[in-house]
Amino acid sequence: MGGAEGEVKQEEMVIVGAGICGLATALAFHRKGIRCIVLERAESLRSSGVAITILPNGWRALHQLNVASILRKTACPILGTKDIWLDKNKQKDMPFISGEARCLKRSDLIDTLYHALPPDVVKFGHQIISVKLDPQTSYPMVQLQDGSFIAAKVLIGCDGAKSTVADFLELKPTKLFDLCSIRGLTNYPNCHPFAHDSVRMRRNNVSVGRIPIDSKLVYWFVAHPWMQADNIASVDTELIRQYTFNLVKGFPKDVVEMVKNSDLDSLCSTRIRYRAPWDLLLGSFRKGTVTVAGDAMHVMGPYLGQGGSVGLEDAIVLARNLAKTMSSTPTDPTNVKEAIDHYVKERRMRIVQLSTQTYLTGLLIAESTSLLVKFACIVLMVILFRKASGQTKYDCGTL
């Protein structure tokens, strides 16, 4: 753990959370020659999350981190998208023409980012329980579960939707969609029969998505209105599989078999959280020299497949803005605050746009949304987001 109770360690930069955004942020600073440490509460890398789609804007960020070429070898490109309405016997096929997109195993992405870092950067078994500002220096003080403290010149919270650092910044609590997502992986030892397309099927109030990762491994999800039973099923992977099996009855045979043969260890069930667009527009993302990135800043529903890619963008933009200030000796806290403000300004409208598009999409999908609200959502989507894939053209720039 961190050390003796009451002990205070000094660090230049501390990142909380060794998830995708935390590791990417650490790697971005490493590429700029700036030392940082990452505090991870788990005792080892966390591979939960199953898989993640990285869209063209995310690949631009991975290229800046010098890991894109490694990750391309782990997954095949997505060549097209299919939307299938089983109830209406209707299908819409579209080639994927917006640029590179692949579905990566989350563990492949995490491992690649981690191994690109020096071996002493990530500190496992370090759970933070509070953040406060030192009254003398105004720098953040992080208290660990073992009672020790770390004083940092910069603190970056990449600790997810239930972020301790976001709580310190007094960001509004995340909200819940009335939607549950069950995700898993299925391995086909003799190769699966599916084209390398992102397929989404709908029947009644259940949606099934399927994206091949490579010739043998397929990522899938089942989304449905949240019920109290989801809380019970989520604690046991065998229960999750049986519960999901019942949800997909009536879907094509290959979907039923995919769920039936899924890897038990990969299964997870979560209720979808989000930060409201108006909270992102008005929230304060800096206090002193503390800020947030990734889901801690802008957790959103999975409807656009942008969560991971946007977190990678955050890493590049944050490192670019802070690098010049952090490389000077001694570090001037006023300059650090200005650099964080530039980062926040650069990111705010980007994440507001994405969260708005995601929020409207979620309302359209939700069973509980009234017809009048759905009509208003459609009008807003047509006005604001005429091109559904327009967000993938965003370029976060160079490190």
Q: Are strands 217-225 and 122-124 parallel, antiparallel or unpaired?
A: unpaired
Which phi and psi angles does 16 have, rounded to 5°?
-100, 120
How would residue 285 be classed by pLDDT, with cut points 50, 70 and 90?
very high
Question: In the predicted model, what is the mean pLDDT of residues 198-203?
Answer: 94
User: Residue 286 is inside which H or E element, if any?
Assistant: strand 286-287
How would residue 5 be classed by pLDDT, with cut points 50, 70 and 90?
low
Backbone conformation region of residue 379, classed left if phi is above 0, alpha if psi is from -120 to 50, else beta: alpha
- Per-residue pLDDT tens over the stretch 333-387: 889 999 999 999 999 999 999 999 999 988 887 767 788 988 888 888 888 887 7
Question: Which domain does 262 fall in, by range?
Answer: 176-274
Whether residue 238 is found in the same domain as residue 304: no
Residue 375's CATH number: 3.50.50.60
- Per-residue pLDDT tens over the stretch 148-164: 999 999 999 999 999 99
What six digits make up the tokens of 86?
Answer: 């089983």
Question: In the predicted model, what is the mean pLDDT of residues 120-134?
Answer: 95
- Whether the pLDDT of residue 85 is over 70: the answer is yes
Whether residue 141 is found in the same domain as residue 16: yes
What six digits make up the tokens of 203?
Answer: 């029947």
Residue 265's CATH number: 3.30.9.30
Does residue 97 belong to any structural domain of this protein? no
Whether residue 319 is found in the same domain as residue 374: yes
Whether residue 332 is found in the same domain as residue 385: yes
How far is the C-alpha of 152 from the C-alpha of 133, rounded, in Å?
10
Does residue 84 belong to any structural domain of this protein? no
The full length of the chain comes to 399
Kindly report the average pLDDT of the chain as a whole number.
91
Domain stops at, among 251, 274, 297: 274
Whether residue 32 is found in the same domain as residue 157: yes
Reduced to 3 DSSP states, what percent helix, strand and coil does the chain have, rounded to the nearest 5? 40, 25, 35
Q: What is the pTM of this model?
A: 0.93
Predicted confidence at residue 280, as pLDDT, reads: 96
- Per-residue pLDDT tens over the stretch 248-266: 999 999 999 999 999 999 9
How would residue 396 be classed by pLDDT, with cut points 50, 70 and 90?
very high
Whether the CB-CB separation of 229 and 154 falls below 8 Å is answered with no
Give the count of domains, the chain: 2
How would residue 1 be classed by pLDDT, with cut points 50, 70 and 90?
very low
Whether residue 290 is found in the same domain as residue 350: yes
Question: In the predicted model, what is the mean pLDDT of residues 299-311?
Answer: 92
Q: Which residues of 255-266 are buried (b: 16+ CB within 10 A; e: fewer)?
A: bbebbeebeeeb
Angle at 144 between CA 279 and CA 115, to 5 degrees: 80
Whether the CB-CB separation of 65 and 27 falls below 8 Å is answered with yes
Distances (CA, A) of 71 to 66, 107, 308: 10, 11, 14
SS3 193: coil
Whether residue 359 is found in the same domain as residue 212: no
How far is the C-alpha of 89 from the C-alpha of 12, rounded, in Å?
59
Whether the CB-CB separation of 129 and 141 falls below 8 Å is answered with no
How far is the C-alpha of 290 from the C-alpha of 339, rounded, in Å?
11
Strand segments (E) across 204-306: 206-212, 217-225, 268-274, 286-287, 290-292
Domain stops at, among 244, 274, 304: 274
Whether residue 246 is found in the same domain as residue 286: no
How far is the C-alpha of 161 from the C-alpha of 146, rounded, in Å?
23
Lowest mean pLDDT among 40-49, 97-106, 129-138, 171-180: 40-49
Domain stops at, among 258, 274, 290: 274
Whether residue 257 is found in the same domain as residue 314: no
Angle at 14 between CA 329 and CA 168, to 5 degrees: 115
Predicted confidence at residue 2, as pLDDT, reads: 46
Does residue 334 belong to any structural domain of this protein? yes
| pLDDT greater at residue 390 or residue 344 | 344
Whether residue 341 is found in the same domain as residue 259: no
How far is the C-alpha of 333 from the C-alpha of 347, rounded, in Å?
21
Report how far Cα 45 is from the mean position of its chain's Cα atoms: 16
Lowest mean pLDDT among 15-19, 112-116, 237-241, 313-317: 237-241
Does residue 337 belong to any structural domain of this protein? yes
Does residue 68 belong to any structural domain of this protein? no
Does residue 251 belong to any structural domain of this protein? yes
Whether residue 299 is found in the same domain as residue 251: no
Does residue 264 belong to any structural domain of this protein? yes
Does residue 61 belong to any structural domain of this protein? no
Whether residue 262 is found in the same domain as residue 350: no
